[in-house]
Every structure is written in C-alpha cells, then in structure tokens.
Amino acid sequence: MDKLPPSPIVSDIPATNRKLDLAGIATSYINAKGQHEVIHPDIRERLFSAMAASETQVDHSVISPVKVFCYGSEYQLILNQPGEYQWHLQLEDLSLVALPYEQPYHGKTLSTDIAITLPSSLPLGYHQLILNAPTGNWQCKVIITPERCFEPSSLLNGERLWGSCIQLYSLRSETNWGIGDFSDLKHALREIDQRGGAFIGLNPIHALYPANPQSASPYSPSSRNWLNIIYIDVMAVPEFQQNEAAQHWLHNEPIQQRLREARETFLVDYPQVMALKLEGLDLAYQQFKLLDERHERVQAFAYFQQNCAQALQQQAEFDALHAWLAAENKQMWGWPAWPVEYHDAANPAVRLFVQRHPDEVRFYAWLQWLAHTQLGECFALSQRQGMAIGLYRDLAVGVAEGGSDTWCDKTLYRMKATVGAPPDPLGPLGQNWGLPPMDPMILQQRAYQPFIELLRDNMNHCGALRIDHVMSLLRLWWIPYGETADMGGYVTYPVDDLLAILALESQRQKCMVIGEDLGIVPPEIVHKLQQYGVYSYKVLYFEQAGINHFKLPQDYPAQSMATITTHDLPTLRSYWHAGDLELGESLGLYPDKATYNALRLSREENKRALIATLIECGLLTEKPQDMSMMTAELSYAIHQFIALSASLLVGLQPEDWLGIVMPVNVPGTTDQYPNWRRKLSCELQEMFEHPEVNELLKAVHSGREIA
C-alpha cells in the first residue's frame, strides 16, 4: 500500500482559504446526480465579499453573544479569555430576576477558569448572562430548548389526518372582490371540517406591496413578519358597514361593474383588486377615526400598536412612503428605485415624511390590525370546530430585494447576493429567486433575535407552520448579485442552534412544524429534522422505490405529510398529460431538446410504474386502455393511494379535485408566465356541492381511518 502524504497543518492553509472556511462558504457539494461538484474559488471569494464578515468583526474576546443548550444537558459556557469575572444570570421570567446576591444564579471565576457552569435548574427559555470585570462588561444570551417540536395529541396518538392545501388568492366566491379573502377561508374551513378534514394549508400570506400590486409572488414578500392586506374582506369590516359614504360608494353602479369584472376574470387582476380594496378601506378608516377613544375597537387597535411597537411602525412607514412615491411615479417598484434620500428608514427625509403624513402611516398600521384580526377569527373558528390543526401557514425562504425588511435592516440582509438552487432535474438551469440572504454571522451576533421574531410572527393564528426550503436552516445556495443560478455556492448556517430555537418556539406557540425538504437534500439534515420532530414533505411524484415502481403507502414515514403535488409542480392532470413539460419547453426552461425528450420519456415510464403500483394495491383492477388520459377513475385511485399512506398528515389540492391543468407557478419564470394569478375553475360553494368532489373527499377520509 502506498504511503499517504502527511495532512497539512493549519498554519499551512492559506489565510484566504481559512477566512472563507470560517465564513461557512463550502468548497464543494453533491449535485442532483450524486456527483461531487467543486465550487470555483472565484465564486467563493465573491460570496465572501458579499458577507458582513468582510466589513465587521464580531467581538468574541471574552464570550460568545449567544449559547444554545438542550434542556437537561450540561450548561457550560466557554470563555475565550480566562480571567477573574463576576457573573449573574437574569432569567427570562422577570419575576425570577436573579440579582447578584441570589443563589444559585451568580458567581465568580478564578483567573485559571476557562468556563462557567450554570445551574442545572435553568428552565426552558431565553436568559441573559452578564459578565463583569474591571476591563469591561459582556453579555451572552443563554437559550434552553426542548428536544422536539410540538405535535398535537391526535398525531401523538397515531391518528392520520388530512386537509386541503389552497392558494388563498385563487378562491372564487360570489361575495369576494376578485381574490380569495379571509371570509372565503372561513367558508372553506367549515366545508373541510364537515367532511372530516383537520386543516387547511395556506400559501404564504406575507406582506407584499400595496403600492405595487403587480409584484404578487407570495414567495418574494416585502416582509415575512407582516400580512398581505389584500386578503382583508372589506365588507366584513364594521366601520365599512357603518359608514354611509362607504355604502353609497359600494352600491354605485361603476363600482359594482368593477367588482363584477374583478370576480369574473380568469386570472387575479391584482391592480384592480388592490385599488378597490384601498378605496373601500380608506372610507372605513374615516369612520374608524370618528370612534371614541374608549371604544373597544379603538382600544384593541391601540393595544395592537403598543404590542407590536417599532416593528409595526416601520412596516406602516414603508407602505405609506411607497404609496406616496408611487403616486408620482409608477416605476417606484421598491426602495432601490426610490430617490436616494429615502433609501434608509433612519434618513432625515424619511423622518420628515413621517412627521408630515402621520395619518397615512397610521392607516397602514390599521390595515395590518384588520388583517391580523380577520386571520385570528379564521383560526378561532377552526378551533371551535375541533379541527386538530386548523390552519397551517407557510414561511417563505426569504424576502425580496426592494421590500420593507431589507429597507429596515440592511446589515442583516446581504444585498450583493441572492439565493436560489443549483441545477437539478426540475430546473436544469438552476433557480435564482432574487432574494437577498440573511447573513449567518450577523444572525449569531444578534443572538438569533431576528429568527426568533420571525417564528413568533408566523406561528401566530395557526396550528402548524410549513417552512419552505427547510434546508435553509443548514445551508443556502448564494449567488453573486447579477449572476446566473449555476454560478453560486453553498453558505452554511448554524443548523443545530436554529432547529433548537425552532423547537422552543414551536412548543411555546403549540404549533407543529412541517419542513419542505425537496430538491437536493443533504443527508446530514435528514436525521436532524427527524430528531427535532419536524415533519418531512413527501410528494407522490418523487416517492419511488427503485426502477419502475412507486413506494407503497405503508412505506411512507409516519413523521411526514404526504401530497400528490405542490404549488411548484404540475397539477395531477397536467402531470399525466405532460402539459408541464410542454409548457417548460415553450418557455425555454430546458437547455436543449434532448433534455426535454428525456423528461418526456421519464414521465411515460413513471406513469406506467404508478399504474402498476395502483394495481398492486388493489386500487385499480387493470391497466387503463388509454394511458394518455387522466380519468375520474384514475384520479380517484391516486387520491385513495395517498390517503392510505402511513404519513400522519395528507394534504390535497382543490386543483386536482377539479381537474385543473394550468399550474399556479412555473419555477424559473417571472413575466414569461402569469404565476400566482390563476383562480380555481368554480366558486367555493359550487365545488363543495359537486358530487364527484364529495365522493372523492369521502374516500380520502375513509382511507385515512383505514390506514
């Protein structure tokens, strides 16, 4: 055997490489084909230059700013510089504030000590260690977390639940204003509950851009901490009902005509809908301003403002300023396009605007209160009905370049990079989502507070939270700004700390967690997600066992949610007819004709394999005569198949009940396709009165009970 060369010692590694490694920029990764792929050194350097690590250094001279422990482990804080320090620990519960003279939450270190061992009696939560010495003072947030995320008792007892995953904007009704709203959501909750369903899953309902309604992607939000006001049901707002001018406006024939047109369109007309809603809500706001300050709604809004504090104020300032600038110039799509004096929330020009337009700012804060109130009513309804989960919300992987989150916090978000995904079979060219990433080093420097607040805001008013691209807790594909998706590299994140905090917030909010773990899933995160009680996401199309065979229902893992498809994939009918592949070819999403032909061939093989599996399970008696057609019988069998899965959760799309072909989103496109606009083909009431839909849902519910 040849003798191996000696391993290089650390000092032999170039300083440049060490700094890139310390910043968490990967040197290579395993691609979708299972092959080792090296990240070009120039790309690594460009990613480093985009990070805050190249601009600031975190002061860890004595102790790190944050330390996360699992409950029951040894709580030991390592000192970077041994010395004589006095320390005391302030518990999160202010009723248990530990003063220096109170045992056991204070102590001293010796000059030779390299660690502080904290009491084993520390409760779950966020505590603050304060370290004092003649040379300075330091603080470290000490976070004690549970082992696993919250799970409803029904799932712990082995019950198999099902629900519907809807795009809220796609719902039709005779009362909405051209887009699904929170009242439509209440209607859907009642219907799903009556048929035995346990939840409705929503697309992200994060804040978008009232002044730029064409930017409609729920996965490119202005802020992930606030709500999209377009989902407010204006007619359910008491002040709109009580205002004579509002009622006169509503029943004016030109307004009625605009409402009819908005309802009847095949695609959501976001500019028309937003204009109508803002007009109606402005009239309602005028009525609200007339209410006595002791009125219960005025007091409720005041409490909301006080509780949300500066974060709400900044969101309202952004929306009000955006509306003011866009009224003069429609090209003001986001803050990078604004005059430079408005580029930062703290700039004097912004503060002057706020001083001169306090009522406009308060109006947008009021709209957030309305949206939270109506969403809260939806969740409360689901709980009164006894739905085990009720609502589950969706947390997008990031925020858009020109929105309020980046406007308020340019240090946390790195504007010289965007995130996406490397090339894979679904996206042979890769994907660039145009979202600036959070800097993991700044996240740690701030003791993870932005992440904590993000979880709290999104676990509000729901029983489950789906985390889009959950691998982002471990790593994100960063792309230097302006480059194509294949010219990127992975940047690592403190996955153990983030998952532990996720478990703590999940338990506190009684909100279970579902992780969307599709695409290139590194093996190191699979076990971690299982360990922390994060439910996996299993899509029928991908759940295959070897060549020409799909996994049997009993082989699905219990700790998962099974679905037929997702918002980024073709509907069942489109999948069967290969309509998605034809659409992708027409949009130029494949690098060459050979790729398209290979995908078509693979699709035909998958269809034959699925038919064979359905026959093996006794859900079909024989192979269909026409394999090219998605029939009602075949759709019924596929829904039965997924209902029988061992997954404790099953989520189904109304598009598949109705046989819709057109997808809601085509990944890799922007204006080439009308993403996030396609409505359902019929109104809610009509859908739930349809005999075939009811027969299908009855079979799904029975399958869940049998499984």
Give the phi and the psi of residue 487 in degrees, each rounded to 5. Answer: -100, 45
The reply to whether 475 falls in a domain is no
Q: Name, in order, each residue with C-beta under 8 angstroms of 124's C-beta and a sequence gap of 6 or more.
A: 71, 144, 145, 146, 504, 507
Q: Name, in order, each residue with C-beta under 8 angstroms of 394's C-beta and a sequence gap of 6 or more.
A: 201, 202, 203, 204, 205, 218, 465, 466, 468
- CATH of residue 99's domain is 2.60.40
What is the pLDDT, as a whole number, of residue 81? 87
The reply to whether 466 falls in a domain is no
Question: Are 676 and 622 members of one domain?
Answer: yes
Question: Are 94 and 25 members of one domain?
Answer: no
Question: Are 622 and 544 members of one domain?
Answer: yes
Q: pLDDT tens digit string along 572-597? A: 999 999 999 999 999 998 989 999 99
Question: Are 87 and 46 members of one domain?
Answer: no
Cβ–Cβ < 8 Å for 524, 544: no
Question: Are 698 and 590 members of one domain?
Answer: yes
Please give the residue range of the domain that contains residue 46: 10-54
Cβ–Cβ < 8 Å for 576, 627: no
The reply to whether 469 falls in a domain is no
Question: Are 23 and 97 members of one domain?
Answer: no
Q: pLDDT tens digit string along 349-382? A: 999 999 999 999 999 999 999 999 999 999 999 9
Question: Are 609 and 701 members of one domain?
Answer: yes
The reply to whether 643 falls in a domain is yes
Number of domains forming the structure of the chain: 3
Q: Which of 621, 655, 477 is nearest to 32 (CA)?
A: 477
The reply to whether 340 falls in a domain is no
Cβ–Cβ < 8 Å for 411, 438: no
Question: Are 19 and 86 members of one domain?
Answer: no
Question: Are 94 and 141 members of one domain?
Answer: yes
The reply to whether 124 falls in a domain is yes
Domain boundary among the residues 103, 122, 145 is at: 145
Q: What is the spatial distance between Cα 62 and Cα 82, in angstroms, rounded to a whole number?
A: 8
Is it true that the peptide bond before 104 is cis, omega within 30 degrees of 0?
yes
What is the pLDDT, as a whole number, of residue 11? 40
Q: Name, in order, each residue with C-beta under 8 angstroms of 308's C-beta and a sequence gap of 6 or more.
A: 368
Q: What is the spatial distance between Cα 63 and Cα 70, in angstroms, rounded to a whole number?
A: 19
Q: What is the spatial distance between Cα 338 and Cα 403, in angstroms, rounded to a whole number?
A: 12
Domain boundary among the residues 116, 145, 174 is at: 145
Question: Are 14 and 107 members of one domain?
Answer: no
DSSP string, 211-272: T-TT---TTS-SEEEEE-GGG--GGG-HHHHH-HHHHHHHTSHHHHHHHHHHHH-SB--HHH
Question: Are 103 and 18 members of one domain?
Answer: no
What is the pLDDT, as a whole number, of residue 99? 47
Give 136: exposed, middle or buried? Use CB within 10 Å, 0-12, 13-18, 19+. Answer: exposed
Place of tokens 């440049």: 16
The reply to whether 107 falls in a domain is yes
Q: Name, in order, each residue with C-beta under 8 angstroms of 322's C-beta and a sequence gap of 6 or more.
A: 209, 210, 211, 212, 332, 334, 335
Query: Which parts of the chain have pLDDT scores under 70?
Result: 1-16, 53-60, 94-104, 426, 707
Q: pLDDT tens digit string along 269-298? A: 999 999 999 999 999 999 999 999 999 999
The reply to whether 111 falls in a domain is yes
Cβ–Cβ < 8 Å for 477, 490: yes
Question: Are 41 and 129 members of one domain?
Answer: no
* Other Cβ atoms within 10 Å of 90 Cβ, number: 17
Q: Which of 374, 255, 352 is nearest to 304 (CA)?
A: 374
